[in-house]
């Protein structure tokens, strides 16, 4: 395990963490403000990636696809809110889980019907195809660095929106005590809709950015959704700051665990057993971390709502 490899894996972990944050931010706000479990948040990431693939093929430009995909993802989010989610805010968590699972089924199979189940390729933007030399003969792709930069910029923007604007103040107040905000004369339904659309757009943005480096396929959001839930539970439901820190933590632990665990296990076991046990342990690490954190801090690292 050389220092360079550690650096590369660290950067990859950071990049996964950033993508996770973009998905988890919307999820944690929707969950925190509306007390609404949206399992369909992962498919909004998938929708973003497919919009990018479709629009890039139509326009021939990644940047045009990005510019068009964001409002389209917002519209998809708002349509879903209008058709399904709006009728579920007053229902219990189990009803929300069931209905949003229905949305997952519809969108996953709908995408399959429209685009087929084979993975799609999205070309990388021309300007970012090169790499950044880390050492002789080893390049780190510009595009991955761009994802990290774009994600950090979005995180900063989000921080400013939530901490420094009036809408952000209402969102934070809503996460702490939604009925009180409504009682003070704020149209909480409209606030919900805005938060919802914005969250959908962030997840779509993550999908667009991931499209050139991951395979765009139906069901691509399902596993990321579970990771995003782990992130918001570790970070504390409703806390954007918690989601940011937990996303970076989960991204790094997941990536480093996968590359280092087999080597680590080789200290105790023979090579073939080490590879198996290492791979299994690496997949489990974040769940072990989550179980440990929940066991000692049942409300996550940065609890928003007073228990």
Partner 1 sequence: MRAMGRELPALLLLGGLAAAPFIGFGEGYMLTLLARMMILAMAAVSLSFIVAGAGLVSLGHAAMLGFGAYAVVILDDLQVVDALFVLPAAILAAAGFALLTGAVAIRTSGVNFIMITLAFGQMAFFTASSLSGYGGDDGYTLYARTEVNGARLLDDRLVFHFVCLGALVFTWLLCRMLLASRFGRVLRAVRGNPMRAQALGFSPYPYRLTAYVIAGALGGAAGFLFANATEFVAPAYISWQRSGELLFMVILGGLSGLHGALLGAIGFVLLEEWLSHQWEHWRILFGVLLILAVLFLPGGLSGIPAQVGRMLRRD
Q: Which residues bind partner 1 (CB under 8 A)?
A: 31, 37, 84, 87-88, 91, 93-95, 97-99, 101-106, 108-110, 112-113, 222, 226, 229-230, 233, 237, 276-277, 279-280, 283-284, 287-288, 290-291, 294-295, 298-299
Q: Three-state SS for 216? A: strand
Task: Identify the helix (H) or strand (E) that includes residue 291.
Answer: helix 271-296
Nearer to partner 1, 3 or 94 (CB): 94
Nearer to partner 1, 175 or 237 (CB): 237
In whole angstroms, the minimum distance from the beta carbon of 99 to partner 1 comes to: 4
In whole angstroms, the minimum distance from the beta carbon of 246 to partner 1 comes to: 13
Estimate the crossing angle of helix 188-210 against helix 62-83, to 10 degrees. 140
In whole angstroms, the minimum distance from the beta carbon of 35 to partner 1 comes to: 9
Structure token digits, residue 212: 């050139």
In whole angstroms, the minimum distance from the beta carbon of 108 to partner 1 comes to: 7
In whole angstroms, the minimum distance from the beta carbon of 233 to partner 1 comes to: 5
Nearer to partner 1, 86 or 142 (CB): 86
Distance of CA 156 to CAs 151, 153, 195, 248, Å?
9, 5, 17, 15
* Sign (positive or negative) of CA dihedral 99, 234, 161, 220: negative
Write out the DSSP string of 112-170.
Answer: HHHH-SSPB--PPPGGG-SEEEEETTEEEEHHHHHHHHHHHHHHHHHHHHHHHSHHHHH
Nearer to partner 1, 10 or 298 (CB): 298
Nearer to partner 1, 97 or 148 (CB): 97
């Amino acid at each position: 395990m050389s220092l360079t490899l550690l650096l590369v894996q660290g950067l990859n972990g950071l990049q996964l963490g950033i993508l996770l944050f973009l998905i988890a931010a919307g999820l944690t706000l929707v969950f925190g403000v509306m007390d609404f479990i949206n399992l369909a948040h992962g498919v909004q990431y998938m929708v973003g990636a497919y919009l990018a693939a479709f629009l890039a093929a139509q326009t021939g430009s990644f940047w045009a696809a990005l510019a068009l995909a964001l409002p389209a993802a917002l519209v998809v989010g708002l349509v879903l809110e209008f058709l399904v989610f709006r009728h579920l805010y007053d229902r219990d968590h189990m009803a929300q889980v069931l209905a949003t699972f229905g949305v997952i089924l519809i969108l996953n199979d709908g995408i399959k019907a429209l685009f087929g189940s084979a993975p799609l390729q999205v070309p990388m933007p021309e300007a970012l195809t090169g790499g950044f030399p880390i050492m002789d003969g080893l390049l780190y792709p510009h595009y991955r660095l761009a994802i990290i930069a774009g994600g950090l910029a979005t995180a900063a923007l989000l921080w400013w929106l939530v901490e420094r604007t009036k809408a952000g103040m209402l969102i934070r107040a809503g996460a702490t005590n939604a009925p009180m905000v409504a009682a003070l004369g704020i149209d909480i339904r409209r606030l919900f809709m805005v938060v919802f659309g914005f969250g959908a757009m962030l997840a779509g943005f993550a999908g667009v950015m991931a499209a050139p480096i991951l395979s765009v396929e139906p069901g691509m959001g399902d596993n990321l959704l579970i990771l995003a839930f782990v992130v918001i539970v570790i970070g504390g439901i409703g806390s954007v700051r918690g989601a940011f820190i937990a996303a970076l933590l989960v991204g790094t632990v997941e990536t480093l665990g996968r590359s280092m665990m087999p080597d680590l296990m080789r200290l105790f076991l023979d090579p073939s057993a080490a590879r198996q046990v290492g791979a299994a342990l690496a997949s489990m690490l974040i769940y072990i971390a989550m179980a440990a954190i929940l066991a000692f801090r049942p409300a996550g690292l940065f609890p928003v709502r007073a228990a």
